[in-house]
Structure 1
Amino acid sequence: MNILAGVIGAVLSLIGVLLGVWLNGRREERRWLRDNKLASATDYIAAAGNLYNFRRKQADARPEVDEQTRAEWTDRMQRSRAAIHLLCEPETVQRLEELSAIIWRTKPADDRFEDSTAALSEFTKAVRAELTGRPSR
């Protein structure tokens, strides 16, 4: 009888350990996903904002922004965009593409500032909803 109780105790302990490992793995996976979504979104917003501002003011011939800097912004924006496509939900990706389209269509002295601000706001809300698990407002 003591052997049976010991075996049952060992099996229950093993099940508890395995369950703990599984739950910890899930928690770490969610944390990794959230951290990478956040990093990709913030990197995209920073690079896209720089490109947007440059494209709007390009007529001013800003000498402080060289071709290499613009290429770095574009590269960061595209890498972040790819990560968002891989990691985020379809609604967030749709908001990202709407914002990207506005940025690429922007011309010097473009006066559609409200459109870009609204698209950025919608993208930010979608990302925030994914990160917090709460629906966007």
Structure 2
Amino acid sequence: MINKKNVFVIVILFSLVAAACGGAAATPTPTKAPVVADSGVVIAEGRLQPKQYAAISFAVGGQIAEVLVSEGAQVKKDEVILRLKNREALQAEVSRADQERINADQAVKDLKDTANVATAQALLDLSKAKDA
């Protein structure tokens, strides 16, 4: 009887004989590559990403009435990029705040004047007390 080792050796021998009988591979016929002139132009596809992003916020709230730039557009410092609705109401609020500031400035001036008068009166009283 043939053992497993002999079967294995026989299979390997048949494989080697079959591989040796296989004949030579056909040689491919060379083809000439077409000559293309270099135009110096490179065409490539891609997607540009900005170097940095900026988060923006506004001093006043409101609804956007008009966007003046498109997404991804380059903008300069202090360039108007959108307009808010209810501009008149916001302008009135700014005017009211300006008037309140003017009133506060006047109140400070009045307090300083009163303090100066009180100081002068105190100095006068002190001078009279020394003379008496």
TM bracket, shorter-chain basis: 0.3 to 0.5
TM-score (norm 1): 0.34
Q: Which of the pair has more CA radius of gyration?
A: 2
Higher percent of residues as helix: 1
TM-score (norm 2): 0.35
